[in-house]
Amino acid sequence: MASPRVAVLRSFGFAATSAIVVCNMVGQGVFLKARVMTCNVGSPGVMIGAWIAAGVLVLCGALTFAELGAALPQSGGMYAFLRRAYGNAVGFAYGWGSLFVSAPAATAGLAAGTAIFFNLASGHLLERSTWSANVLGAVWTVTGLQLGAALMIAAVTAVNLAPALVNGRIAGGFAVLKLGMLVAITFVAFALGHGTFANYAQNIAGATCTGVSAATRAGIAGFAAALVGALYAYQGWQSSSLVAGEVRDPGRIFPRSLTLSVVIVMLAYVVANVSFVYVLGPSAIASLPPGSSVGVSVVEAIFGPVWRTVAAALLFASVAATLHVTILTVARVPYAMASDGLGFGFLARLSPRARVPVNALLVNAMLAIALVLIGTFDTLSDYVVFNAWVFSATTGAAIFVLRRREPALERPFRTPGYPLVPAIFVLVAIWLLTQTLISGPRNSLTGLAIIALSFPYYYWRRWRLDRAARIAA
């Protein structure tokens, strides 16, 4: 039997809901993706244009999701929207994809980022440790970076076992820290960076662009790849929809907090990347080693190597905060699905005191740790973006379905610019997914295959339940 949805507490106000969005968005992407994006497009101006285009796309999505979330304020967010618009099978497919692909991959990718920054702050301590074992005749190697990421997942999951109100306050404090740090790095870059705006007239001639595929450099494919990189940095904008069932007065708070947070982060990202190019120049950014942080490089260029450790430590805290709210929000999807009787029933269990989905949190942690032990940062981030945007585009289209099929549904907030705004979001998302599928088919098709497996499982499970009901009758 489905667990009653009233079991969760509506603990999040405007500040906590906004903090969840900001903390989820402002993390490692703005510092780790600038290098790859510059290599993708070859020009700082086009790179900044990719950040703006991605921000506008996300804002269109936020305005669309704001209407859906205000009308259907339930735990699971996109799962609830998809189920209402397209039926149980599609809602289950999203929950399945979230449980087995996007949620653990997002968690693992962020944990890998915390390990990268901790490694920089500790003088490359994690790089010095490597363990190897013979597993079924094959040599399996685990690096210190991978082990550090796994430990971060375990520790942050433990924090999320506390009540939602406590974690909302933690997210609020981290949101102030993260935005303050990004603004501080940007201000210092312009004030003390001794850079030049002539850098914007340069290209990346002579840059190494290590690890960036030739198929994703220049032209439409390059710009699409740069958009994917920017969207990874924006990833998490829809996170507050996942906890809509725990937001007080969701019809008023949810739309305002979501749209305002997206606008603030978009402006911060664009200005920050302008400052990075101002200090370092496009060729230097494109020549950074894979996994390097542009933010750390900017601080080092201004103050010298001694400040590199301080910058890396601050960025470690920033990414750890994003990891915190990501783990908090993604667990609500399998919980909501299990509560409706569609998913694995044990995932609907809430802890008796904190009333948080304890089993969903633990399963996500175990899957994420497995991924972090076998994957790399860029591979994990590609999985996250592609699979997340498959369902983001589908959810965006749900607004048209529900407007037509349920015109009487109470909508405390209506998307401004309808139908143009959601149409732009859906069409650009489809174009982006198509380009990503062409340029990186292996990761994209792997994610789609995992999602496709949900449909035979769903119908097999429904057949079994219907058969059991007929026998019982």
Per-residue model confidence as pLDDT tens digits over 18-73: 877 787 777 667 777 888 888 888 888 888 999 999 999 999 998 999 899 888 88
pLDDT-based confidence at residue 85 (cuts at 50, 70, 90): very high
The amino acid that residue 397 corresponds to is A
The answer, yes or no, to whether residue 252 has pLDDT greater than 90, is no
Classify residue 335: in a domain, yes or no: yes
pLDDT for position 378: 55
CATH number at residue 112: 1.20.1740.10
Classify residue 2: in a domain, yes or no: no
Please give the average per-residue pLDDT across 364-384, as a whole number. Answer: 74
**Most confidently modeled of 160-164, 252-256, 414-418?**
414-418
How far apart are alpha carbons 268 and 97 in whole angstroms?
Answer: 31
Number of domains the chain is built from:
1
Q: If we measure between CA atoms, which residue out of 422, 402, 392 comes closest to residue 85?
A: 402
**359-364 long-range contacts, CB within 8 A, separation 24+:** 360/331, 360/332, 360/333, 360/334, 360/335, 361/157, 361/160, 361/161, 361/327, 361/331, 362/157, 363/99, 363/334, 364/99, 364/103, 364/104, 364/107, 364/157, 364/327, 364/330, 364/331, 364/334
Classify residue 290: in a domain, yes or no: yes
Classify residue 402: in a domain, yes or no: yes
The answer, yes or no, to whether residue 400 has pLDDT greater than 90, is yes
Per-residue model confidence as pLDDT tens digits over 455-472: 998 888 888 878 887 887
The answer, yes or no, to whether residue 243 has pLDDT greater than 80, is no
How far apart are alpha carbons 180 and 175 in whole angstroms?
Answer: 8
Please give the average per-residue pLDDT across 308-318, as a whole number. Answer: 80
How far apart are alpha carbons 27 and 454 in whole angstroms?
Answer: 31
Classify residue 4: in a domain, yes or no: no
pLDDT for position 401: 95
Please give the average per-residue pLDDT across 272-287, as a whole number. Answer: 85
Classify residue 113: in a domain, yes or no: yes
Domain that holds residue 62: 10-467
Classify residue 252: in a domain, yes or no: yes
* CB environment 32-48: b (16+ within 10 A), e (fewer): bbbbbbbbbbbbbebbb
Classify residue 15: in a domain, yes or no: yes
Q: Angle, to 10 degrees, between the axis of helix 332-339 and the axis of helix 78-86?
A: 40
pLDDT for position 28: 65
End-to-end CA distance of the chain: 17
| Least confidently predicted of 367-371, 443-447, 450-454 | 443-447
pLDDT for position 283: 84
